């Protein structure tokens, strides 16, 4: 099953972030809690962790992109 990973709400006043770097690549196996991507809010850098275990299938954003809360980050083919 494919799980779509979206940018979670990172704070009461954070609606947009800038992608700093991907910490995983397409085809890589990830576990729950593993950092996927590092983003920058207006105040801090934050790692967004995986809520799923499986294989990263596709990355939807690139470093330097500015995205909103709820935007798709990647798809993970979950382990059954």
Q: State pTM to two decimals.
A: 0.90
> Which CATH number is 37's domain given?
2.40.50.100
As averages over each run of 10 residues, the pLDDT of the chain (80 residues) reads: 94 90 97 97 93 97 96 90
> What's the total number of domains in the chain?
1
Quote the pLDDT of residue 11.
82
Q: Which residue segment(s) compose the domain that 12 sits in? A: 2-78
Give, in order, the Cα–Cα distances in Å from 38 to each of 6, 29, 53, 79, 80.
Answer: 13, 18, 18, 24, 27
Quote the pLDDT of residue 80.
58
């Amino acid at each position: 099953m494919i799980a779509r990973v979206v940018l979670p709400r990172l704070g009461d006043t954070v609606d947009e972030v800038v992608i700093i770097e991907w910490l995983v690549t397409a085809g890589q196996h990830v576990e729950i809690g593993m950092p996927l991507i590092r983003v920058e809010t207006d105040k801090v850098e934050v790692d967004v962790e995986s809520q799923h275990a499986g294989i990263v299938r596709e990355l939807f954003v690139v470093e330097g992109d500015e995205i909103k809360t709820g935007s798709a980050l990647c798809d993970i083919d979950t382990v059954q």
